[in-house]
Amino acid sequence: MSQRPIIALDFSSKIEVEAFLAKFPHDESLFVKVGMELFYQEGPEIVRWLKSLGHSVFLDLKLHDIPNTVEKAMTGLAKLGVDMTNVHAAGGIKMMKAAKAGLEKGTKSGGEVPVLIAVTQLTSTSEAEMQQDQLIQVPLKESVLHYAKCAQDAGLSGVVCSALEVEAIHEATSKDFVCLTPGIRPSGSDLGDQKRVVTPREARKIGSTFIVVGRPITKANIPYEAYQTIKNEWNGENL
């Protein structure tokens, strides 16, 4: 089965999401990412609604708190029916294990436990900022690989990372460790504020497991056409 790029629903209201989804065929089951902007304004109902339409949901809330709190929060998110969610690896191995346990507790018996991945270093953090603000005195890449290994040790499925980090992460962990990569631009498209981008085809070659695409689809004149082009390129078709 062909794989779906994950569409970042970077909107601030359900009304905007409805208008966007109306541009897709009703029976097209999408994989969408709901982030803090949308979730904190529309609440858990937005996830229930997207699931009721038949879409898969990656809830990108990047949890980071004491293990007990994260475990309880994750139990609630699993009950909502999310398909994938995430935490900050900086919360530590105990916190990541608690997150996983929470998801398992919240999943109906016989149901699929949501995929849990970790954020390593945010791609907005520079090496200098990491060294000054976090007092981590190693190269940024070493910190990313360390956090990826911690996530693996905690039993998580993978990490969110730049496509440019995928090969090193796979070497440090395992080939089947999930690498979900944003910063994707089809060749010849507007970069927006993203700097280090790769095309869907390059992401596939590098070994990304999932790609997250926002503006190249949400701001396209014909979003469904843009989605299909990216999906085909991601799946190695029509090249």
User: Is 190 part of the annotated catalytic residue set?
Assistant: no
Shortest distance in whole angstroms from residue 219 CB to ligand C5P: 8
H-only helix segments in 6-160: 14-21, 36-42, 45-52, 67-80, 93-106, 127-133, 140-153
Is 215 one of the annotated binding-site residues?
yes
Is 122 one of the annotated binding-site residues?
no
Stretch that binds ligand C5P, among 11-19, 24-32, 147-155, 209-217 (CB under 6 A): 209-217
Residues contacting 178, CB < 8 A, separation 6+: 115, 117, 157, 158, 159, 209, 210
Candidate list 7, 179, 212, 226; residue touching ligand C5P; CB under 6 A:
212
Judged by DSSP in three states, 31 sits in: strand
Query: Quick check: 174 and 152 in contact, CB under 8 A?
Result: yes
Interface map 94-133 toward ligand C5P (x if CB under 6 A): -----------------------------x----------
Separation between Cα atoms, residue 196 and residue 185, nearest integer Å:
10
Identity of the residue, 75 or 194, whose beta carbon is nearer to ligand C5P in the bound complex: 194
What are the distances in angstroms from CA 77 to CA 57, 127, 160?
Answer: 11, 33, 19
User: Is 62 part of the annotated catalytic residue set?
Assistant: yes
Selecting among 14, 23, 51, 62, the annotated active-site residue is: 62
Candidate list 213, 223, 227, 230; residue touching ligand C5P; CB under 6 A:
213
Identity of the residue, 106 or 186, whose beta carbon is nearer to ligand C5P in the bound complex: 186
Stretch that binds ligand C5P, among 14-22, 75-83, 136-144, 206-214 (CB under 6 A): 206-214
Amino acid at 228: Q
Is 65 one of the annotated binding-site residues?
yes
Interface map 159-178 toward ligand C5P (x if CB under 6 A): -x------------------
Interface map 176-195 toward ligand C5P (x if CB under 6 A): ------xx--------x-x-
Judged by DSSP in three states, 180 sits in: strand
Token pair in block for residue 85: 């969610």
Identity of the residue, 91 or 183, whose beta carbon is nearer to ligand C5P in the bound complex: 183
Separation between Cα atoms, residue 133 and residue 156, nearest integer Å:
26
Task: Spell out a b/e string for 178-199, using b for 16 or more CB atoms within 10 Å of the CB, else e.
Answer: bbbbbbbbbeebeeeeeeebbb
Binding residues: 10, 33, 60-69, 123, 185, 194, 214-215
Binding residues for substrate: 10, 33, 60-69, 123, 185, 194, 214-215
Query: Can you give the binding site for ligand C5P, defined by CB under 6 A?
Result: 8, 10, 35, 123, 160, 182-183, 192, 194, 212-215
